[in-house]
Amino acid sequence: MTTQLSGEPLAACSSGRVCRQSEDYDPLSAVFGHHTRLILIAPPPIYEPSWEKQCFTKGYKLNRLNSIAEEYAKACVCVGQDCGTEVLDLWTLMQEGGQDYTVYLSDGLHLSDKGNEFLESKLWPILEQKLGALPFLLPYWMDVDNKNPEPSLFPNCTEKKEEKS
């Protein structure tokens, strides 16, 4: 299972111009196709006033725009639909019902602890749905003896060693 979070770098701008076009997503369609276990994660919204303050403290002008993040979120959703793959649209979900999405951002751009919790709360059910029926290949971590992990991680290999002795 692969997740692809498309985020802040895609919303970069210079002199009001988009550095990367939303057409950049087109190659993803060809690469991932319809058969890959992939979840695309559209970028979250950007709160420009907070991000502009961060940029200013580093001697930069505002270099990310929420309107560009929205373009990429929409492009991500389109690619997901074209490829038949799941899309977690953070840009839309974080703003549903007019909620204050700024609580999900630590600096106007990057996810805060609450933003990571939000992402996890939306991503985990998708993972459970897609992967929940898969068998466990390794033991639960608490069942592994950290002083002698080999027998619990590789029981067949350990038995063969004992037989040879």
Q: Tell me: do 93 and 145 sit in the same domain.
A: no
Number of domains composing the chain: 2
- The pTM of the full predicted model, rounded to 2 decimals, is 0.69
Taking only the tens place, the pLDDT of each residue in 137-156 is 778 888 898 899 888 888 77
Q: Tell me: do 145 and 164 sit in the same domain.
A: yes
- Is the distance from CB of 69 to CB of 43 less than 8 angstroms? yes
Which tokens sit at 27?
Answer: 């190659």
- Is the distance from CB of 69 to CB of 44 less than 8 angstroms? yes
The predicted pLDDT at position 138 comes to 79
Q: Tell me: do 38 and 119 sit in the same domain.
A: yes
Q: Tell me: do 98 and 145 sit in the same domain.
A: no
- Indicate the average pLDDT of the chain: 81
Which of 106, 98, 110 is CA-nearest to residue 5?
Answer: 110
**Scanning the structure block, which residue is given the tokens 């991000």?**
51
Span 152-161, mean pLDDT? 68
CATH number of the domain to which 50 belongs: 3.40.50.1110
- In order of 32, 124, 126, 133, the CA distances from 129 in angstroms are 20, 9, 5, 8
10: containing domain:
2-134
Which of 81, 53, 61 is CA-nearest to residue 17?
Answer: 61
The predicted pLDDT at position 152 comes to 83
